């Protein structure tokens, strides 16, 4: 585990990104400037920053017409080593930035995340868990791995991944101290409410963030899209969660930037030395069905 010896200032965004790439770069630049003004060394941006997300999510109730409309309205596919990613690298300087995009690899598309600074790409990730017909638009990734950065060892997840405890545990066991969980997480599609604070999908989003941080005793940084795109209305709710499950900073249901200065080593050390040793006290030999195909799902 590579621990940054000094406190780290982290900013995380709830911000709106659509198909207009130039507007996306302008939004990134504005958030980067604000994060620098706050002294941040890490800026975490939402899923699908470059080119936006899908205009809708399907499911068993989706009509063929809406499915075809969604498949014709995909975001631009960008190569990991292409000029679009390089443009963010050139903006980054000494700041570590995590952001999402649609990755092109040959004829295949992935919902992807990348962490960069001015030196280049520090880590990349392809979304593993796909909700509500997202598999019709993207192929799935097949691995989780942590990576070293100037501000400590990090891992990445995208949106629906946070609903799977095994995914965050994989990163924690690989030494991740900070996990950037980037999302385009919308409100519920049914039983909708006017007050977003009462939305059940918003509440799930918050529960997952706090649970993943607490059970792995890590710093959890959750970015999300804001505003609306297509039929989706996003819950904002960007936050930084400490290893005890406490929210250190958050945007609530409004767009904006949340910032906290975190002594990563001290907080994680206190959490893991305070009577609950969630990683040390695991008993893998007992968890016999974790990696098997589901029987009762």
Q: Is 167 exposed, middle or buried (0-12, 13-18, 19+ CB in 10 A)?
A: buried
Q: Is the dihedral of CA 166, 171, 173, 176 positive or negative?
A: negative
Helix (H) / strand (E) containing 108: strand 108-117
pLDDT tens-digit map of 65-115: 766 776 778 999 999 999 999 999 999 999 999 999 999 999 999 999 999
Please report whether residue 3 resides in a domain: no
Q: How confident is the model at residue 2 (pLDDT cuts 50, 70, 90)?
A: low
Q: What's the rounded mean pLDDT across residues 231-255?
A: 98
Domain containing 102 — which CATH number?
A: 3.60.110.10
Residue 93: Cβ within 10 Å count: 12
Q: Is 281 exposed, middle or buried (0-12, 13-18, 19+ CB in 10 A)?
A: exposed
pLDDT tens-digit map of 247-295: 999 999 999 999 999 999 999 999 999 888 999 999 999 998 888 887 6
Number of domains into which the chain is organized = 1
pLDDT at 45: 99
Please report whether residue 294 resides in a domain: no
Please report whether residue 263 resides in a domain: yes
pLDDT tens-digit map of 18-61: 999 999 999 999 999 999 999 999 999 999 999 999 988 876 55
Mean pLDDT, rounded, of the chain: 94
Please report whether residue 271 resides in a domain: yes
Q: Which residues, 6 or more positions from 197, have their beta carbon under 8 angstroms from its beta carbon?
A: 252, 253
Full residue range of the structural domain in which residue 254 is found: 8-286
pLDDT at 160: 98
Please report whether residue 140 resides in a domain: yes
256-262 and 247-250 beta bridge pairing? unpaired
Please report whether residue 297 resides in a domain: no
pLDDT at 61: 55
Q: How confident is the model at residue 1 (pLDDT cuts 50, 70, 90)?
A: very low
Residue 268 φ then ψ, to 5°: -65, -40
Q: How far apart are CA 204 and CA 7, in angstroms?
A: 30
Q: Which residues, 6 or more positions from 59, have their beta carbon under 8 angstroms from its beta carbon?
A: 132, 133, 189
Residue 106: Cβ within 10 Å count: 6
pLDDT at 288: 87
pLDDT at 13: 99
219-225 and 178-183 beta bridge pairing? parallel
Q: How confident is the model at residue 132 (pLDDT cuts 50, 70, 90)?
A: confident
pLDDT at 166: 96
Compute CA distances 42 → 117, 148, 258, whole Å. Answer: 9, 13, 12
Compute CA distances 286 → 238, 260, 282, 289, whole Å. Answer: 36, 38, 9, 9
pLDDT at 73: 81
Please report whether residue 36 resides in a domain: yes
Cβ contact 18:265 at 8 Å: no
Cβ contact 243:213 at 8 Å: yes
pLDDT tens-digit map of 211-233: 999 999 999 999 999 999 998 99
Helices (H), 4-124: 21-37, 64-71, 83-92
Please report whether residue 2 resides in a domain: no
């Amino acid at each position: 585990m590579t621990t940054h010896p000094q406190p780290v200032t982290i900013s995380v965004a709830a911000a709106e990104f659509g198909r207009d790439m130039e507007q996306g770069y302008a939004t990134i630049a504005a958030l980067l400037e604000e994060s620098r003004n706050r002294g941040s060394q890490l800026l975490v941006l939402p899923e699908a920053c470059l080119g936006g997300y899908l205009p809708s999510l399907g499911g068993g109730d989706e009509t063929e017409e809406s499915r075809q409309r969604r498949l014709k309205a995909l975001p631009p596919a960008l190569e990991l080593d292409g000029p679009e990613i390089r443009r963010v690298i050139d903006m980054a300087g000494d700041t570590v930035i995590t952001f999402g995009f649609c990755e092109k690899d040959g004829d295949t598309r992935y919902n992807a995340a990348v962490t960069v600074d001015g030196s280049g790409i520090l880590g990349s990730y392809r979304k593993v868990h796909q909700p509500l017909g997202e598999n019709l638009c993207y192929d799935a990734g097949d691995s989780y791995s942590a990576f070293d950065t100037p501000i400590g060892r990090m891992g990445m997840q995208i949106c629906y991944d946070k609903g799977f405890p095994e995914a965050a545990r994989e990163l924690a066991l690989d030494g991740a101290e900070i996990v950037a969980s980037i999302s385009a997480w919308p409100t519920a599609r049914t039983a909708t409410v006017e007050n977003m604070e009462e939305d059940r999908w918003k509440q799930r989003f918050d529960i997952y963030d706090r649970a993943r941080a607490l059970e792995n005793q890590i710093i959890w940084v959750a970015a999300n899209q804001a505003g609306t795109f297509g039929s989706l209305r996003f819950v904002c709710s960007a936050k930084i969660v400490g290893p005890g499950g406490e929210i250190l900073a958050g945007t609530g249901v409004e767009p904006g930037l949340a910032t906290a200065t975190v002594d990563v080593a001290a907080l994680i050390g206190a959490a893991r030395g305070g009577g609950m040793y969630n990683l040390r006290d695991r008993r893998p030999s007992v968890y016999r069905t974790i990696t098997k195909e589901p029987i009762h799902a």
